[in-house]
Copies of this chain bind each other. A is one copy, B any other.
Amino acid sequence: MTAIDRRAATLLALLAPLAVGEARAQTPKPAPMAPPANHAMPSDMGRGDGVRWMGDEEIAMLMYPGMTVMDLIGPQSMFGSMMGAKVRLVAKTLDPVTSDAGVTIIPHATFETCPRDLTVLFAPGGTAGTLAAAQDTATLAFMADRGARAKYVTSVCSGSLILGAAGLLKGYRATSHWSCRDALAGFGAIPTDARVVHDRNRVTGAGVTSGLDFGLAMVAELRDRTYAECCQLVSEYDPHPPFNAGSLATAPPEVKKPMVELLAEFTKKAEALARRS
């Protein structure tokens, strides 16, 4: 074999789970043929030098009734490509959890069985369900406990309300869905208008679909840029939105006005919740 053939063969063996995933057992396990953690590629890999192709991250993604499932699956699709990482969907019990749009997912672990020391703790958003989760004693106790020790404390969309309610955003810059970003100030956070906000070990994404940008940023943080770029190519993340209405800055007035009004009640409730915290 030439050096290039060897490199290709190594990559094929290392990255196989990224592309040729098999249905896994309910509790995710690292790839069985995993090389040791922190395995680095040969030095002829160019920008891939020192890429952490294999890891052992413990990632816990909160689920609760009424969550927005896209908030969860965008990041999960990126985390799920990290070989060796254990990505667990965690809920209060092992009962199936139904999203705001009627998708029902079976959790991998409960608040009790979730590992105590996490690499990443993550919360997805929603509307009514998120306000309920952000006032639920067991959920807040779980988030506060794991968040106190997790290497990264993270969220997408209004999931940052749950982080805030658990006392995890005091003094941190953070973002959220546009409808409740300013409410974060009530938790002592510094609301920040950006797609992904990284302040020390807090990483928060904006609304719903920002989970893809957040997920790629996290893979680059946890592994390296080349690994994240491989995830981006495999998931063909080359967005071409057919319209330009994805932010308050670009949406036409006849779209922005009714949507701001539509979410005004949620905005008010989020602000009240944050002030009470």
- What is the interface of chain A, defined by CB distance below 8 A to chain B? 7-8, 11-12, 15-16, 18-26, 28, 45-48, 65-66, 68-70, 73-74, 76-77, 80-81, 87, 89, 96, 98-106, 108, 126-129, 157, 177-178, 195-196, 206-210, 212-213, 216-217, 220, 225-226, 228-230, 232-243, 245-248, 250-252, 254-259, 261-263, 265-266
Contacts and interface: CB of A to CB of B under 8 A. Distances in A.
Contact of A23 (B100, B196, B226): B100
Given A12-B262, A22-B128, A77-B69, A246 B239 contact: yes
A202 to B, nearest CB: 17
Copies of this subunit: 2
Nearest to A246: B238
A69 B76 contact: yes
A150 B195 CA distance: 38
B195 A240 contact: yes
B74 A103 contact: no
A235 to B, nearest CB: 4
Contacts of A66: 21-23
A261 to B, nearest CB: 5
A70 B235 contact: yes
27 contacts: A7-B258, A12-B258, A19-B127, A19-B259, A20-B127, A21-B66, A24-B102, A26-B104, A46-B254, A96-B106, A103-B105, A104-B105, A105-B105, A178-B236, A195-B238, A196-B242, A208-B236, A209-B212, A213-B242, A229-B243, A230-B258, A232-B251, A233-B255, A233-B259, A234-B262, A237-B241, A239-B239
